[in-house]
Structure 1
Amino acid sequence: MSSLFNDFDPVSSKQWKQQIQYELKGADYNETLVWESPDGIKVKPFYHTDEFNEPLASGGKAASFTICQNIFVHDVEKSAGRAMSTLKRGAESIRFTINDENTDVIKLLAGLPATVPVYFNLGFLSIDFVKKLDAIAKEKSAAYYVQLDPIGQLAKEGNWFSNMEADLETLNTISIACPNIHFLSIDGKLYQNAGATLVQQVAYILAHSNEYFNRIATISKPVVVQVAVGTNYFFEIAKLRAIRLLVNLIAKEYEHDFDCHIIATPTKRNKTLYDYNVNMLRTTTECMSAILGGADTVANLAYDALYHKDNEFGDRIARNQLLVLKHESYFDKVNNPADGAYYIEELTQQLAEKALALFKDIEANGGFLGQLREGTIQRKVVESAAKEQELFDSGKEVLLGTNKYPNKNDRMSHDLELFPFVKTNPRKTLIAPITERRLAEKMEQERLAGEDKN
């Protein structure tokens, strides 16, 4: 087998290109076969080994990703029981969403094994609450990731938890008083779900991270980066690799040598209310991109998350998708499956270069917080989202079952437990918030209105 290809002479990329040019019969090679993404990333018809040197040091260990179960904590006893139940059925880590700082976390965590990584998505900023988690983490020698992100709160809600000085001072206090937990998180999901381009997503995550590196004196644990993964398969693999590459690059400038920790989840932007089973196909490829891109943890999105409250069936299906990928599709066998794949390497390189250039532009023009205050970031995201929305509305960007091959007999108004559209909540804010919005919302609202008439 080792000598199988020795009977063939090697063919260089130049020879391939010459043959392709001959077959085009005079048509321009670049105009005919090289296409450009909305981000300006050029994609060639083929890639060749003589155009590459060493693979990019993208990091990440695909084989060791953990399957995460999201649990919203309302009733502590039920949430604790649900966590234990899901661990027995394939979950490998837990993410609790907690909005009440009086939640009894000792009771919530009592039965969880110390070997299970636990994420805490908090809807508040409290030193005392985080100190409780730090004490438990120390006692159990457990890996706890407390996802604190005041800048993300500002970007999403338009307001800080308290104010900039108080919020950042709280983080600085936590960084010293709570050495046993990971306390810093970057919410990059927001930018994807709001419609930012791939280059913008990476650059904004980078600029977002840089604000913390500038303002938090002691960061002694890896930074957690939350990422939403879209359906553009290879580009999304490259996006995760570029994020890790660049966040680690910036961190080293601050003498922070820890590899960032990426937790990925499928985007909501392309999910649909009608023909909802197609959401399972979308989340499957998105989870595949997350794993191959090197995410440390993947938290799948249930197919019915738009319109149903958390339920056993939806969670089970979402968890089983990841179990099939890990144990039946053998995604746990190779740590670096994307390294050396010329196409992905080239996408990663171009994406990283363009994102780094945008990051430098942001820093040269007031930094991330400065551009949030001015509204520049929000305006850019809105512009990008509008372009994608136009592609969807015109049918050039397809969501099967929604703007292509819809089932006219499908009815959903009777099945809505949650409001599946952007909620308007008039309130006074410091800045205009970045708003998450799905592509299919307008079309779905029209269909629901039609159901009511019928």
Structure 2
Amino acid sequence: MTKNTLFSNFDPVSSKAFKQKIQFDLKGASYNDTLISHTNEGIDIKPFYHRDEAQEFLEVPGTPSHWSIAEDIFITNANKAARIANDCIASGTEALYFIADAPFDISQLFKSLTQKASPLYFTLHFLDEAFYTQLIQEAGDREIYLNIDPIHHLAEEGNWYHNLKEDHRILDSILKHQKNTLSVDIDLYQNAGANMVQQLAYGLAHVNEYLMHAETLSVAVPSITFQVAVGSHYFFEIAKLRALRQLIAVLVHEYAFAKSLPAGETAITTHIIARPTRRNKTIYDYNTNMLRTTTEAMSAILGGADTIVNMPYDEIYHKRNDFGQRISRNQLIILKEESYFDAVSNPSDGTYYIEAITKQLAEKALALFKDIEKQGGFLKQLKEGTIQRKIKESAQKEQAQFDSQEKILLGTNKHPNPNDRMKDSLERYPFVKTKPRKTLIAPIIKRRLSEAMEQERLKTEV
């Protein structure tokens, strides 16, 4: 075998030498002002990253060696949902994500699921102990995740399902029978406009409320599922998912039940479901949504998500349709089967840039988390409106960047097609819906960046 002498033919170049050469080529222009960019998270992006400046790389615990292609299926009729699910699996879907607003025929659903998929996720917009008990029994030996998250329901809807005490009692009861019960939805914070540091810190404070409650009552929490929305800042989104796993490991280690474990054992399994954000999706020039969701899925994969649920390019304004679902499914199949995104575990390890961003995101999020805890914790700050206010401030900053074209969505605020017509194509209402109701707290509202601009365009369509 011939020895590779490529690297021995070149002398190593230090980071100092790189910077001196760059400074010379700038011909007097400021290095910092010209080449260093700044993010909404307060992180400076340098023009290059070098091993001279690289610190010790931190392990990312729990990163999966395999990721699953999943698909959303809304249940109104159990038979119809099962038929759709069987078709999805036959077409390449590996896991199913069921959503329901009301109870359905559980027996019929499982009886009609002739194709095998694993795992099965359930997000139910109601909290009924008897229904969940039956669901666990009917599932048998299937791998299921129940995704119960009362705090998310409070944050998004402004109210508990029942009340704080009853919601936690039901959660505790179900946890005794099903390990994959608890979920923490960080998707809400991203889609409402929180920056990445806030998403991580709020997710950490969110799960800490559950862990404190569980420790007080000696309730076991063997597994936590995190639902995460992934945006278009490619490398930062990779780093965000890596930082999330690191932060959760640090938090869990502070609890007594984790400290008593032998070295190398994990107290709680962290499972991440990632999906593209809705925040940057548009109804005009909608085909660009395919490009956005592709890079966002790539970030989720490289960041170490367990399951990816893609978003059809026309989901904002179209009802479910075979073509949109097929395209979104095939995007993930191509990434897995043709681009070999499933061939390497931890592909981001040792990347100076991503490692540096991961470290900074984790440090800033941990500092914000500690501040939240000093101020009384996540639930207290939700009740006071502090979390809502901070997210709103971040969203307004990002909205101003979009309005001024500092943040660009092609086809919408940059290079729009004046001949594009959408008024007659809207099968769904694509904007924020208001639901007047009495709430305990101000709900956190998801909002797309392009909504106001699209509403104005719709008014002027001929």
Give the TM-score taking structure 1 as reference length: 0.95
Q: Distance in 1 between matches of 2:272 and 2:254?
A: 20
Aligned to 1:265: 275
Change (3 A) 1:250 1:90: same
Aligned to 1:249: 250
Aligned to 1:30: 32
Aligned residues of 1:365 and 1:371 also touching (Cα < 8 A)? yes
Aligned residues of 1:187 and 1:225 also touching (Cα < 8 A)? yes
Structure 1 residue 400 corresponds to structure 2 residue 401: no
Structure 1 residue 99 corresponds to structure 2 residue 101: yes
Q: Distance in 2 between matches of 1:150 and 1:306?
A: 26
Q: CA deviation at 1:408?
A: 1.1
Q: Distance in 2 between matches of 1:109 and 1:169?
A: 27
Q: CA deviation at 1:320?
A: 0.4
Gaps of 5+ in 2: 259-266
Range that drifts further, 57-66 or 204-213: 57-66
Aligned residues of 1:60 and 1:335 also touching (Cα < 8 A)? no
Q: Distance in 2 between matches of 1:276 and 1:22?
A: 44
1:51 to 45, 50, 53: 53
Paired amino acid for 1:207:
A
Aligned to 1:215: 213
Change (3 A) 1:297 1:89: same
Aligned residues of 1:62 and 1:331 also touching (Cα < 8 A)? no
Aligned residues of 1:60 and 1:296 also touching (Cα < 8 A)? no
Aligned residues of 1:60 and 1:336 also touching (Cα < 8 A)? no
Paired amino acid for 1:166:
E
Q: Distance in 2 between matches of 1:108 and 1:57?
A: 41
Matches within 5 A, 1:11-160: 11-61=13-63, 63-101=65-103, 103-110=104-111, 111-112=113-114, 116-137=118-139, 139=140, 141-160=141-160
Paired amino acid for 2:355:
E
Q: CA deviation at 1:416?
A: 1.2
Q: Distance in 1 between matches of 2:116 and 2:252?
A: 29
State the identity %: 55
Q: CA deviation at 1:195?
A: 0.4
Aligned to 2:170: 170
Aligned residues of 2:69 and 2:332 also touching (Cα < 8 A)? yes
Aligned to 2:452: 442
Aligned residues of 2:89 and 2:117 also touching (Cα < 8 A)? no
SS of match in other structure, 1:64: coil
Aligned to 2:262: none
SS of match in other structure, 2:147: strand
SS of match in other structure, 1:315: helix
Change (3 A) 1:211 1:220: closer
Change (3 A) 1:25 1:450: closer
Structure 1 residue 358 corresponds to structure 2 residue 394: no
Aligned residues: 447
Q: Distance in 1 between matches of 2:171 and 2:114?
A: 27
2:384 to 374, 386, 389: 374
Paired amino acid for 1:238:
A
Aligned to 1:283: 293
Q: Distance in 2 between matches of 1:328 and 1:442?
A: 39
Q: CA deviation at 1:115?
A: 5.7
**Deviations 1:318-344 (CA, angstroms, capped at 9, x unpaired):** 000000111111101101111111000
Paired amino acid for 1:44:
K
**Deviations 1:122-175 (CA, angstroms, capped at 9, x unpaired):** 1001111111122234x3x22100011110001001000011111111111111
Q: Distance in 1 between matches of 2:430 and 2:379?
A: 30
Q: CA deviation at 1:417?
A: 1.2
Gaps of 5+ in 1: none
1:409 to 419, 422, 445: 419
Paired amino acid for 1:126:
D
Aligned residues of 1:184 and 1:223 also touching (Cα < 8 A)? yes
SS of match in other structure, 1:161: coil
Q: Distance in 2 between matches of 1:398 and 1:4?
A: 41
Q: CA deviation at 1:62?
A: 5.8
Aligned to 1:190: 188
Change (3 A) 1:303 1:115: closer
SS of match in other structure, 1:147: coil
Aligned residues of 1:114 and 1:143 also touching (Cα < 8 A)? no
Q: Distance in 1 between matches of 2:36 and 2:236?
A: 16
Structure 1 residue 308 corresponds to structure 2 residue 318: yes
Structure 1 residue 340 corresponds to structure 2 residue 350: yes
Q: Distance in 1 between matches of 2:451 and 2:298?
A: 26
Change (3 A) 1:114 1:129: farther
Aligned residues of 2:61 and 2:249 also touching (Cα < 8 A)? no
Aligned residues of 1:269 and 1:439 also touching (Cα < 8 A)? yes
1:204 to 202, 207, 224: 202
Q: Distance in 2 between matches of 1:449 and 1:115?
A: 45
Change (3 A) 1:405 1:28: closer
CA-based RMSD of the aligned residues comes to: 1.5
Paired amino acid for 1:9:
D
Paired amino acid for 2:235:
F
Q: Distance in 2 between matches of 1:359 and 1:166?
A: 27
Aligned residues of 1:62 and 1:337 also touching (Cα < 8 A)? no
Q: CA deviation at 1:309?
A: 1.3
SS of match in other structure, 1:298: strand
Aligned residues of 1:62 and 1:291 also touching (Cα < 8 A)? no
Aligned residues of 1:185 and 1:225 also touching (Cα < 8 A)? yes
Give the TM-score taking structure 2 as reference length: 0.94
Aligned to 2:309: 299
Q: Distance in 1 between matches of 2:239 and 2:93?
A: 26
Aligned residues of 2:90 and 2:115 also touching (Cα < 8 A)? no
